[in-house]
């Protein structure tokens, strides 16, 4: 009777049993902080260990030490860093998330812009994840433009993760994600799937997608390579993962690309009142850039 080969099974078991030492976690944490600005406390060790185990399996590596040597090498920074980003970032998002912000945009910001300016309205969704936020903005702005014929707009959307950007560009979602979208907007801007194997999928209509540009961008970089200043920046639920020093640095960089009098929208749990930045609070987690 042939003897069963258990080498693959044993290898998989060993991989699942891998544990990251506290010392190595500190090294990973420092590396991630320096590269991404994300602060990983020790409580996140098991989360990081679990997510990286999948990468070790895909790369056929046998230890976290081997992976760290690779990702921190010149080759790894070029080839593996995008995957590391996907591992450590959280990308929870919904259409019309924190709806009060879109009400403020519609009732306060857009009428103010339309009354005093005549150039194209420019808005930046920083940390756009899979695209729900910029496409929500596109719906809101398109609706405004239908009542203001000479109103023009463009939406610049960025995220550090190439994985979520791919989803955003494809603009295909499960129909359950559309639940927060008002029915009249669903009928106008969502397309139903023609694929019999995936009938529950929806796609953002081309007339909305044309207004949105997606780019990969790390908010920790020194140069955002953005040519034009924005009228509005949405950067919601992003800096919550940064420590205060990094938050202040990122917010001030964002302000460089915000026009005087422009608006900065932050997440519901993010407050900037204690930061040294050229902005003032005008509504709940809404800030206005002070004229310089």
- Taking only the tens place, the pLDDT of each residue in 88-147 is 776 668 899 999 999 999 999 999 999 887 678 999 999 999 999 999 999 999 999 998
Nearest by Cα to 158 from 41, 16, 254: 254
Residue 270 pLDDT:
82
Looking at residue 90, what is its pLDDT? 67
pLDDT at 237: 86
Residue 3 has pLDDT above 50, yes or no: no
With tokens 């990973």, the residue in question is: 28
Candidate ranges 149-153, 210-214, 246-250; pick with highest mean pLDDT = 210-214
* Alpha-carbon torsion (43, 48, 51, 57), positive or negative: negative
Task: Please spell the DSSP secondary structure of 171-228, one letter per residue.
Answer: TEEEGGGGTTS-HHHHHHHEEE---TT-TTEEEE-HHHHTTEEEEE--TTSS-----S
How confident is the model over 15-24, as a mean pLDDT? 77
- Asked whether 248 and 275 are in contact (CB, 8 A), the reply is yes
| Cβ–Cβ under 8 Å, residues 141 and 175 | no
Please determine, for residue 12, whether its predicted confidence score (pLDDT) is greater than 60. no
pLDDT of residue 101: 96
> Does position 16 have pLDDT exceeding 70, yes or no?
no
Residue 135, token pair as written in the block:
């496409």
Per residue in 167-185, pLDDT (tens digit) is 999 999 999 999 999 999 9
pLDDT digits (tens, 9 = 90+) for 146-157: 988 789 999 999
Q: How confident is the model at residue 8 (pLDDT cuts 50, 70, 90)?
A: very low
> What is the reported pLDDT for 91?
64
Mean residue pLDDT across the chain: 87
Q: Does residue 9 carry a pLDDT above 50?
A: no
CATH numbers and ranges of domains, the chain: 7-88 (1.10.155.10), 100-289 (3.40.50.150)
Of residues 261 and 43, which shows the higher confidence score? 261
| Tokens (6 digits) for 158 | 């960025």
pLDDT of residue 118: 64
Model confidence at 194: pLDDT above 80? no
pTM over 0.75: yes
Residue 292's pLDDT is 59
Q: Report the pLDDT value the prediction gives residue 6, as an integer from 0 to 100.
A: 45
Largest CA distance in the chain: 86
């Amino acid at each position: 009777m042939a003897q069963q080969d258990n080498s693959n099974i044993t290898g998989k078991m060993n991989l699942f049993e891998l544990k990251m030492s506290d010392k190595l976690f500190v090294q990973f944490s420092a590396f991630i902080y320096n590269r991404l600005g994300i602060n990983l406390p020790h409580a996140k060790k098991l989360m990081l260990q679990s997510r990286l185990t999948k990468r070790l399996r895909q790369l056929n590596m046998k230890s976290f030490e081997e992976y760290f040597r690779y990702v921190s090498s010149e080759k790894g920074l070029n080839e593996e860093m995008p995957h590391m980003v996907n591992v450590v970032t959280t990308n929870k998002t919904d259409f019309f998330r924190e709806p009060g912000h879109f009400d403020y945009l519609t009732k306060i910001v857009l009428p103010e812009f339309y009354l005093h300016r005549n150039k194209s309205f420019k808005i930046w969704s920083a940390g756009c994840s899979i695209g729900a936020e910029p496409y929500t903005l596109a719906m809101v702005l398109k609706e405004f433009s239908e009542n203001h014929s000479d109103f023009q707009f463009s939406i610049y959307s960025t995220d550090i993760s190439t994985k979520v950007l791919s989803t955003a560009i494809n603009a295909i979602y499960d129909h359950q994600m559309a639940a927060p979208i008002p029915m009249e907007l669903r009928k106008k801007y969502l397309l139903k799937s023609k694929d019999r194997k995936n009938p529950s999928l929806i796609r953002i209509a081309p007339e909305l997608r044309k207004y949105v540009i997606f780019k990969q961008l790390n908010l920790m970089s020194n140069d955002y390579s953005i040519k034009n200043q924005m009228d509005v920046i949405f950067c919601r639920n992003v800096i919550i993962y940064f420590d205060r020093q990094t938050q202040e640095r990122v917010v001030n960089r964002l302000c460089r690309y915000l026009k005087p009098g422009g608006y900065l929208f932050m997440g519901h749990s993010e407050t900037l009142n204690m930061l040294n930045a050229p902005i003032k609070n005008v509504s709940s987690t809404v800030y206005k850039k002070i004229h310089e």
